[in-house]
Copies of this chain bind each other. A is one copy, B any other.
């Protein structure tokens, strides 16, 4: 990457020859994805139903084990990054091919129009009775996608409205999540809560709301994204002013929207080229969590 110091090759080789990876207790690393989309004016998360224990029959985030180097492999064998494992987990369930940028903290793939960024790593040690499992969670934002297909180890895959999970996102803790239609495996209720909260705060400072939209969209559609994700209504007029005064958020696509309801045709826009919103578009409720 940068500035790797030259190492003494002899002692390094000798060290590696004497090294046995199996002297370490085994640890498994999984990449689990909180994939969010908007379907029928609801914020939905992609869940799969587990076919095998532990938590057989419970709902879980799509995930996959990190493909690791095997002892016989050469030291420079191409290996999977965690980002790639997350993209693979999502692809196996949705059929989307996401070429995740290896270097970037977050990657927005223009072709597949799926945004993927790392959320946080969870590892209580007691998650899985088999062995220590560390879960690297990701958040993915996507426009409305087709019905997912169940992959290996799962019996069903479904876009589930977050509201139906009865998770309290506001609190940092997950409170209810009992007696719902979707009992969740492991600590995935907490991970979903964190993912939704990340998405909410991302809308404030980044232009990612357009990741929920199609190629082109009207300002109203963009406002609906904010209203659905944040769960609050916004002033249409003020919202237009804010979006258009945030340079690089959107750029005009020239065309007008097709017919579909009352009112005049709306101007269409596409995503701009900024990485951050200046000024940001803040939630009114941001004042809550002060304690």
| B-binding residues in A (CB < 8 A) | 1-5, 7-8, 11-12, 15-16, 19, 21-22, 24-29, 52-58, 65-71, 75-76, 79-82, 102-103, 105, 118, 120-121, 123-126, 129-132, 134, 136, 172-180, 183-185, 187, 189-190, 194, 247-248, 273-276, 278, 286-287, 289-291
CA–CA, A273 to B290, complex, Å? 9
| Chain A, interface SS category | loop
Partner of A54, one of B7, B123, B183, B190: B7
Partner of A21, one of B26, B29, B175: B26
Q: How close is A34's CB to chain B, nearest CB, in angstroms? A: 15
Which of chain B's residues has its CB closest to A52's CB? B15
Q: How close is A58's CB to chain B, nearest CB, in angstroms? A: 5
Partner of A69, one of B67, B121, B131: B131
Q: A2 to B178, Cβ gap below 8 A?
A: yes
Partner of A120, one of B2, B4, B19, B105: B105
CA–CA, A134 to B132, complex, Å? 14
Partner of A289, one of B66, B176, B276: B276
| Residue from A24, A79, A194 with most neighbouring chain B CB atoms (10 Å) | A24
Partner of A130, one of B16, B29, B185, B187: B16
- Since A81-B123, A82-B134 are in contact, a sample of 7 more A-B pairs with Cβ atoms closer than 8 Å, ordered by chain A residue number, is A16-B129, A21-B26, A66-B132, A79-B125, A81-B125, A118-B120, A278-B290
B residues less than 8 Å from A69 (CB atoms): 25, 125, 131-132
B residues less than 8 Å from A174 (CB atoms): 1-2
Q: How close is A70's CB to chain B, nearest CB, in angstroms? A: 5
Which of chain B's residues has its CB closest to A70's CB? B25
Which of chain B's residues has its CB closest to A28's CB? B24
Q: A274 to B248, Cβ gap below 8 A?
A: no
Q: A274 to B291, Cβ gap below 8 A?
A: yes
CA–CA, A136 to B19, complex, Å? 23
Q: A123 to B66, Cβ gap below 8 A?
A: yes
B residues less than 8 Å from A185 (CB atoms): 5
Q: How close is A75's CB to chain B, nearest CB, in angstroms? A: 4
CA–CA, A82 to B136, complex, Å? 12
Partner of A275, one of B4, B15, B291: B291
